[in-house]
Protein backbone atom coordinates (compact mmCIF):
# COMPACT_ATOMS: atom_id res chain seq x y z
CA UNK A 1 0.00 0.00 0.00
CA UNK A 2 1.41 3.40 -0.94
CA UNK A 3 1.38 6.73 0.90
CA UNK A 4 -1.75 7.83 -0.92
CA UNK A 5 -3.83 4.79 0.05
CA UNK A 6 -2.58 4.91 3.63
CA UNK A 7 -3.77 8.51 3.97
CA UNK A 8 -7.13 7.60 2.38
CA UNK A 9 -7.61 4.99 5.13
CA UNK A 10 -6.71 7.51 7.84
CA UNK A 11 -9.12 10.12 6.43
CA UNK A 12 -11.93 7.59 6.10
CA UNK A 13 -11.85 7.11 9.89
CA UNK A 14 -13.09 10.69 10.34
CA UNK A 15 -16.80 10.99 11.21
CA UNK A 16 -19.08 11.09 8.17
CA UNK A 17 -16.24 10.43 5.74
CA UNK A 18 -16.46 7.31 3.55
CA UNK A 19 -13.75 5.88 1.34
CA UNK A 20 -14.80 7.90 -1.71
CA UNK A 21 -14.87 11.20 0.17
CA UNK A 22 -11.52 10.37 1.75
CA UNK A 23 -10.05 9.69 -1.67
CA UNK A 24 -11.37 13.00 -3.02
CA UNK A 25 -9.79 14.80 -0.08
CA UNK A 26 -6.39 13.17 -0.54
CA UNK A 27 -6.40 13.85 -4.29
CA UNK A 28 -7.35 17.44 -3.55
CA UNK A 29 -4.31 17.72 -1.27
CA UNK A 30 -2.11 16.14 -3.95
CA UNK A 31 -3.47 18.20 -6.83
CA UNK A 32 -3.34 21.47 -4.95
CA UNK A 33 -0.69 23.79 -3.57
CA UNK A 34 1.86 21.78 -1.52
CA UNK A 35 1.86 24.67 0.98
CA UNK A 36 -1.79 24.00 1.79
CA UNK A 37 -0.99 20.36 2.62
CA UNK A 38 2.03 21.50 4.63
CA UNK A 39 -0.04 23.97 6.64
CA UNK A 40 -2.64 21.32 7.36
CA UNK A 41 0.04 18.84 8.47
CA UNK A 42 1.54 21.40 10.85
CA UNK A 43 -1.78 22.46 12.33
CA UNK A 44 -2.99 18.89 12.87
CA UNK A 45 0.37 18.05 14.43
CA UNK A 46 0.11 21.04 16.79
CA UNK A 47 -3.56 20.53 17.67
CA UNK A 48 -3.13 18.52 20.86
CA UNK A 49 -0.30 20.80 22.02
CA UNK A 50 -2.22 24.04 21.32
CA UNK A 51 -5.64 23.02 22.59
CA UNK A 52 -6.32 21.84 26.13
CA UNK A 53 -9.41 21.39 28.29
CA UNK A 54 -10.56 24.26 30.50
CA UNK A 55 -10.11 23.23 34.13
CA UNK A 56 -13.41 24.86 35.07
CA UNK A 57 -15.97 24.17 32.34
CA UNK A 58 -14.20 21.36 30.45
CA UNK A 59 -14.43 22.94 26.98
CA UNK A 60 -11.53 23.01 24.52
CA UNK A 61 -9.37 26.12 24.82
CA UNK A 62 -5.91 27.55 24.19
CA UNK A 63 -5.76 29.17 27.63
CA UNK A 64 -6.74 27.67 30.98
CA UNK A 65 -9.21 28.86 32.23
CA UNK A 66 -10.94 29.47 28.91
CA UNK A 67 -11.94 33.01 27.82
CA UNK A 68 -15.58 32.35 28.77
CA UNK A 69 -14.76 31.18 32.32
CA UNK A 70 -12.27 34.06 32.70
CA UNK A 71 -14.95 36.60 31.74
CA UNK A 72 -16.34 37.87 35.07
CA UNK A 73 -19.18 39.75 33.36
CA UNK A 74 -20.94 36.51 32.42
CA UNK A 75 -24.37 35.86 33.98
CA UNK A 76 -24.56 33.50 36.97
CA UNK A 77 -26.29 30.89 34.82
CA UNK A 78 -24.65 27.65 33.74
CA UNK A 79 -25.53 25.99 30.45
CA UNK A 80 -24.79 22.26 30.77
CA UNK A 81 -23.80 20.53 27.51
CA UNK A 82 -22.83 16.99 26.62
CA UNK A 83 -19.65 17.68 24.66
CA UNK A 84 -17.07 20.44 24.31
CA UNK A 85 -18.10 20.96 20.67
CA UNK A 86 -21.56 22.06 21.81
CA UNK A 87 -20.12 25.22 23.44
CA UNK A 88 -19.21 27.19 20.27
CA UNK A 89 -22.54 26.23 18.66
CA UNK A 90 -24.43 27.86 21.52
CA UNK A 91 -21.99 30.78 21.72
CA UNK A 92 -22.59 31.55 18.04
CA UNK A 93 -26.37 31.70 18.54
CA UNK A 94 -25.72 34.75 20.81
CA UNK A 95 -28.80 33.69 22.76
CA UNK A 96 -26.95 33.00 25.98
CA UNK A 97 -24.59 35.18 28.01
CA UNK A 98 -23.88 32.83 30.92
CA UNK A 99 -21.28 30.18 31.63
CA UNK A 100 -20.88 26.63 30.36
CA UNK A 101 -20.27 23.21 31.83
CA UNK A 102 -19.31 20.16 29.75
CA UNK A 103 -20.63 16.87 31.18
CA UNK A 104 -18.43 14.80 28.90
CA UNK A 105 -21.17 12.39 27.87
CA UNK A 106 -24.72 11.24 28.56
CA UNK A 107 -25.87 8.41 30.82
CA UNK A 108 -26.08 5.27 28.68
CA UNK A 109 -25.85 2.11 30.82
CA UNK A 110 -25.83 -0.18 27.75
CA UNK A 111 -22.70 1.59 26.52
CA UNK A 112 -21.21 1.48 29.99
CA UNK A 113 -21.57 5.22 30.64
CA UNK A 114 -22.83 5.71 34.19
CA UNK A 115 -23.48 8.89 36.22
CA UNK A 116 -20.05 8.54 37.82
CA UNK A 117 -18.40 8.98 34.41
CA UNK A 118 -19.87 12.46 33.95
CA UNK A 119 -18.53 15.74 35.37
CA UNK A 120 -21.47 16.16 37.76
CA UNK A 121 -19.42 16.63 40.94
CA UNK A 122 -17.58 19.68 39.54
CA UNK A 123 -20.95 21.07 38.41
CA UNK A 124 -22.29 20.88 41.99
CA UNK A 125 -19.16 22.63 43.30
CA UNK A 126 -19.54 25.40 40.74
CA UNK A 127 -23.23 25.92 41.50
CA UNK A 128 -22.28 26.49 45.15
CA UNK A 129 -19.06 28.45 44.70
CA UNK A 130 -20.14 30.67 41.80
CA UNK A 131 -23.57 31.49 43.27
CA UNK A 132 -25.37 30.13 40.23
CA UNK A 133 -29.09 30.99 40.07
CA UNK A 134 -30.05 28.78 37.11
CA UNK A 135 -28.77 25.63 35.43
CA UNK A 136 -29.95 25.20 31.83
CA UNK A 137 -29.66 21.65 30.55
CA UNK A 138 -28.80 21.88 26.82
CA UNK A 139 -28.79 18.13 26.24
CA UNK A 140 -29.95 16.39 23.08
CA UNK A 141 -33.65 15.39 23.14
CA UNK A 142 -32.88 11.67 23.11
CA UNK A 143 -33.41 8.87 25.63
CA UNK A 144 -29.88 9.37 26.94
CA UNK A 145 -30.36 13.15 27.11
CA UNK A 146 -33.67 12.72 28.99
CA UNK A 147 -32.12 10.26 31.46
CA UNK A 148 -29.17 12.55 32.10
CA UNK A 149 -31.39 15.63 32.49
CA UNK A 150 -33.48 13.78 35.06
CA UNK A 151 -30.38 12.68 36.94
CA UNK A 152 -28.81 16.16 37.05
CA UNK A 153 -32.15 17.65 38.11
CA UNK A 154 -32.34 15.20 41.03
CA UNK A 155 -28.81 15.77 42.33
CA UNK A 156 -29.45 19.54 42.18
CA UNK A 157 -32.62 19.27 44.28
CA UNK A 158 -30.92 20.27 47.53
CA UNK A 159 -29.44 23.42 45.93
CA UNK A 160 -30.97 26.87 45.70
CA UNK A 161 -30.97 26.87 41.92
CA UNK A 162 -33.57 26.75 39.14
CA UNK A 163 -33.10 23.85 36.75
CA UNK A 164 -34.43 24.25 33.22
CA UNK A 165 -34.03 22.39 29.98
CA UNK A 166 -33.98 23.55 26.35
CA UNK A 167 -37.37 22.80 24.91
CA UNK A 168 -39.34 23.69 21.82
CA UNK A 169 -37.49 23.82 18.55
CA UNK A 170 -35.16 20.88 18.74
CA UNK A 171 -36.63 18.01 16.73
CA UNK A 172 -36.94 14.85 18.86
CA UNK A 173 -34.24 12.33 17.98
CA UNK A 174 -32.15 15.05 16.36
CA UNK A 175 -28.68 16.31 17.19
CA UNK A 176 -27.80 19.69 18.73
CA UNK A 177 -24.94 19.99 16.28
CA UNK A 178 -27.26 20.28 13.29
CA UNK A 179 -29.78 22.73 14.74
CA UNK A 180 -30.03 26.03 12.85
CA UNK A 181 -29.65 29.34 14.67
CA UNK A 182 -33.38 30.12 14.83
CA UNK A 183 -34.31 26.69 16.15
CA UNK A 184 -31.62 27.03 18.77
CA UNK A 185 -32.83 30.53 19.64
CA UNK A 186 -36.41 29.27 20.12
CA UNK A 187 -35.29 26.44 22.32
CA UNK A 188 -33.51 28.91 24.58
CA UNK A 189 -36.48 31.27 24.88
CA UNK A 190 -38.95 28.40 25.39
CA UNK A 191 -36.94 26.52 28.01
CA UNK A 192 -39.20 24.91 30.60
CA UNK A 193 -38.82 24.48 34.38
CA UNK A 194 -38.26 20.91 35.51
d(CA 105, CA 107): 7
Task: Establish if 92 lies at the interface with a copy of itself (CB under 8 A).
Answer: no
Task: Establish if 43 lies at the interface with a copy of itself (CB under 8 A).
Answer: yes
Task: Establish if 151 lies at the interface with a copy of itself (CB under 8 A).
Answer: no
List 79's β-bridge partners, or say none. 100, 136
Binder of a copy of itself out of 69, 78, 81, 83 (CB under 8 A): 83
Task: Establish if 48 lies at the interface with a copy of itself (CB under 8 A).
Answer: yes
User: How many residues belong to the site for a copy of itself (CB under 8 A)?
Assistant: 48
Give min distance, CB of 140 to a copy of itself, in A: 15
Residue 115 CA from chain centroid, whole number: 18
Q: With CB under 8 A as the contact rule, which of the stretches 29-37, 110-118, 132-140, 150-158 interacts with a copy of itself? A: 29-37
Binder of a copy of itself out of 60, 93, 146, 185 (CB under 8 A): 60
Q: With CB under 8 A as the contact rule, which of the stretches 59-67, 121-129, 131-139, 182-190 interacts with a copy of itself? A: 59-67
Q: With CB under 8 A as the contact rule, which of the stretches 5-13, 117-125, 128-136, 158-166 interacts with a copy of itself? A: 5-13
Binder of a copy of itself out of 12, 15, 68, 90 (CB under 8 A): 15
Contact 133, 163 (CB under 8 A): no
Amino acid sequence: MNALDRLVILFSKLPGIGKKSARRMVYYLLDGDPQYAQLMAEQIGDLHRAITRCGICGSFTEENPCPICADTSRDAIICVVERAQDVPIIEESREFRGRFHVLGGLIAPLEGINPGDLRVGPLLNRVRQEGIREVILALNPTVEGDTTALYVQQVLKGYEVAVTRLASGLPVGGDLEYADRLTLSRSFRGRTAL
